[in-house]
């Protein structure tokens, strides 16, 4: 009998998924909050963007903290997707024959949408990086993030795609946040209601916070 049951068991992979998901929730909350600086105007927002590179000086040199965060979230995303893929394969092996008739009794839509929603989110992340980090999609000036955002979101189709991705994120969080506590064994009858509530809160606040920016541009509040 070996000691290391965890990395090989499905529970270990799920724990990895929960921890990396928690990293992303933390990142998303900071990212969403930071985005709201755009409502303070062009100068404040561009100043905030520059701050993200200067943060941590002089202990860290220019853009070091930014790169550490980037490495951590990319690693987390890859680990999250790897566990999801491994568990998906294990599930398809375990249920190799499907039912002729199958009805869902109590599982909510969000919980059954996790895998598809995850794919929508990763496609969005790639598009989002291409648009606002690499500047491949819309007119881009690295020195003026405010202008990049306003130009980027003046296209209603792009805004629609962002809203679709945020809706997927909301569903992902609705199940994922509660599921995280369940998987890490922190849930119990006493706290179940609290964790469910926390998940609903996260699923509403994070996507709505993000959605304010593209909607404000689309409706001409930000110019």
The residues, any chain, with a CB within 8 Å of residue 74's CB and separated by 6 or more, are none
Closest contact distance (angstroms) between CB of 21 and other proteins is 12
- Reference 15, options 3, 29, 5; nearest CA is 5
Q: Do you find a cis peptide bond into 52, omega within 30 degrees of 0?
A: no
Closest contact distance (angstroms) between CB of 204 and other proteins is 20
The residues, any chain, with a CB within 8 Å of residue 160's CB and separated by 6 or more, are none
- Reference 222, options 198, 121, 214; nearest CA is 214
Residue among 133 and 188 whose Cβ is closer to other proteins: 188
Residue with tokens 């706290």: 191
Closest contact distance (angstroms) between CB of 20 and other proteins is 15
Residue among 57 and 192 whose Cβ is closer to other proteins: 192
Report the alpha-carbon distance of residue 107 to residue 45 in Å, rounded: 42
Closest contact distance (angstroms) between CB of 173 and other proteins is 14
Closest contact distance (angstroms) between CB of 8 and other proteins is 7
Residue among 98 and 139 whose Cβ is closer to other proteins: 98
Residue 39 CA to its chain's centroid (Å): 22
Longest dimension (CA), the chain: 65
DSSP state of 189: T
Alpha carbon separation from 141 to 125, 134, 180 (Å, rounded): 20, 10, 39
Residue among 101 and 143 whose Cβ is closer to other proteins: 101
Closest contact distance (angstroms) between CB of 198 and other proteins is 15
Residue among 39 and 109 whose Cβ is closer to other proteins: 109
Residue among 46 and 183 whose Cβ is closer to other proteins: 183
Q: Which positions touch other proteins (CB under 8 A)?
A: 1-6, 8-15, 87, 90-91, 93-108, 111-112, 114, 175, 178-179, 181-189, 192
């Amino acid at each position: 009998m070996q000691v290391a049951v965890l990395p090989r068991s499905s529970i270990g992979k799920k724990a990895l998924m929960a921890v990396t998901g928690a990293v992303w929730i933390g990142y998303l909350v900071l990212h969403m909050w930071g985005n709201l600086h755009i409502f303070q105007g062009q100068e404040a927002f561009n100043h905030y963007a520059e701050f993200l590179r200067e943060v941590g000086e002089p202990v860290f040199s220019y853009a070091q903290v930014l790169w550490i965060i980037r490495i951590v979230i990319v690693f987390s995303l890859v680990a999250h997707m790897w566990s999801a893929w491994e568990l998906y394969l294990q599930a398809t092996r375990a249920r190799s024959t499907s039912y002729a008739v199958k009805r869902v009794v109590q599982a909510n839509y969000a919980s059954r949408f996790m895998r598809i929603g995850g794919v929508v989110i990763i496609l969005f992340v790639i598009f989002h990086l291409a648009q606002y980090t690499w500047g491949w999609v819309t007119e881009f000036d690295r020195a003026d993030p405010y202008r990049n955002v306003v130009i980027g979101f003046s296209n209603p189709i792009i805004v629609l795609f962002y809203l679709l991705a945020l809706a997927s994120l909301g569903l992902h969080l609705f199940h994922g946040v509660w599921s995280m506590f369940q998987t890490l064994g922190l849930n119990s009858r006493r706290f179940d209601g609290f964790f469910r509530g926390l998940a609903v809160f996260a699923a509403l606040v994070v996507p709505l916070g993000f959605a304010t920016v593209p909607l404000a541009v689309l409706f001409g509040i930000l110019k």
